[in-house]
Amino acid sequence: MAKRNKISIIGAGNIGGELAMLVARRELGDAMLLDIPEKEGVAKGKALDIMQTGALEGFDAKVSGTSNYADIAGSDVVIVTAGVPRKPGMSRDDLLSINLKIIRAVAAGIKEHAPDAFVIVISNPLDAMVYEMKKQTGFPKSRVVGMAGVLDSARFQCFIAEAAGTSVKEVRTLVLGGHGDTMVPVLSACTINGIPVTSLVEKSALDAIVDRTRNGGGEIVKLMGTSAYYAPASGAIAMAESFLKDQKRLLACAVFLEGEYGYSDLYMGVPVVVGKGGAERVVEVSLGADEKAMLDKSAEAVRGLIADSAKL
Ligand code: APR
């Protein structure tokens, strides 16, 4: 009999709860929701609520809550959402010192109890958090990735579909770089069912969309008073599913770069084939001079964050 997959989710807050729901609804495997001892009740309560939804919606999945890292043993995938979300007026970078301490504690738990897992980090500031996760666990780069590009690409896709008046399903987009205001939405790689978007949507509208995408996270923080959770959870699930089912999807993920695109020793968003080997292969697309210059700027911003982390 095939073994059931186990997906552990660290942090049972807004994103964690939605992740557990998606794991169960899609029957990707059993979900373990872990939070700090003070929030163990929340983790257990959400787990029960989701299991009971299964009775109504007709899905089979075991969802459990815990505050004990021993319970993540045997995980195929660990998704990390632990941390403080952004509040209005706070940039992702402001979160650095608070969330760095949390990531270090979480990394120790994963290293000890789930040493073979594929780890997907969502906590912000993403590029610094995922870098720290790799540093602290010592896991190979193929098994420690960050979820950001998938989300930023989805936002870009959504705005383009609206402007072009087409279904979002026909739109393909790519966003590279760090998960911050310097991210690089790549217009040259954006198509509507193969047709270059630049021939279908006016330049001024596209420029506004690029801007809106860069500030897509902040737009939601301003509206809700906390950061987004549905789309971030869906983004991580796309990555987890591609790994678990060896789908080899080409997804924009934050991965550890060792020379690709001319950068080394940093995590940044690039297109990656995700399969049973984890982040299996970085795909290098040719970029225009402007795009490369923007990516250089983004890499600098990420380097700054990583340097700041090293001092904390
Ligand atoms: N171990 C486990 N869980 C922790 C820890 C820890 N050391 N520290 C905090 N948490 C938990 C909190 O108790 C909380 O339940 O992480 C959860 C975070 O949930 P929310 O506050 O609802 O935040 P959420 O919106 O889910 O975002 C989580 O993802 O997108 C990023 O910027 C966002 O960094 C934030 C993270």
Q: Are the beta carbons of 161 and 170 closer than 8 angstroms?
A: yes
99 lines ligand 1 (CB under 6 A): yes
Q: Which atom of ligand 1 is nearest to the CA of 12?
A: 15
Q: Is 53 exposed, middle or buried (0-12, 13-18, 19+ CB in 10 A)?
A: middle
Tell which residue, 175, 191, 211, 217, has the closest CA to residue 86.
Answer: 217
126 lines ligand 1 (CB under 6 A): no
Q: Estimate to the nearest angstrom the gap between the alpha carbon of 104 and the chain centroid.
A: 18
- Asked if 179 is an active-site residue, the reply is yes
State mean pLDDT over 268-297: 95
137, pLDDT greater than 60: yes
Specify the pLDDT at position 93.
66
Phi, psi of 165 (to 5 degrees): 70, 35
Domains located in the chain, CATH noted: 6-146 (3.40.50.720), 149-310 (3.90.110.10)
pLDDT in tens, 283-312: 999 998 999 999 999 999 999 999 988 888
Q: Are the beta carbons of 193 and 201 closer than 8 angstroms?
A: no
Q: Give the residue ranges of DSSP H helices in 188-288.
A: 203-214, 216-224, 230-244
Specify the pLDDT at position 36.
98
DSSP code per residue over 3-58: PPPEEEEE--SHHHHHHHHHHHHTT-SEEEEE--GGGHHHHHHHHHHHHHHHHHHT
Q: Report the percentage of the chain scoring pLDDT > 90.
A: 87
Residue with the two structure tokens 């995938």: 77
Distances (CA, A) of 76 to 136, 147, 168, 289: 19, 17, 31, 40
Question: Ligand 1 mean position to 35 CA, how many Å?
Answer: 8
Q: Which atom of ligand 1 is nearest to the CA of 226?
A: 25
Question: Ligand 1 mean position to 285 CA, how many Å?
Answer: 34
1, pLDDT greater than 60: no
Q: Give the model's confidence band at 95: pLDDT under 50 very low, under 70 low, under 90 confident, else very high.
A: confident
Q: Which of 39, 143, 179, 214 is catalytic?
A: 179
Going by alpha carbons, the residue nearest to atom 28 of ligand 1 is: 81
Q: Which atom of ligand 1 is nearest to the CA of 227?
A: 25
Residue with the two structure tokens 């040259």: 188
Question: Ligand 1 mean position to 176 CA, how many Å?
Answer: 25
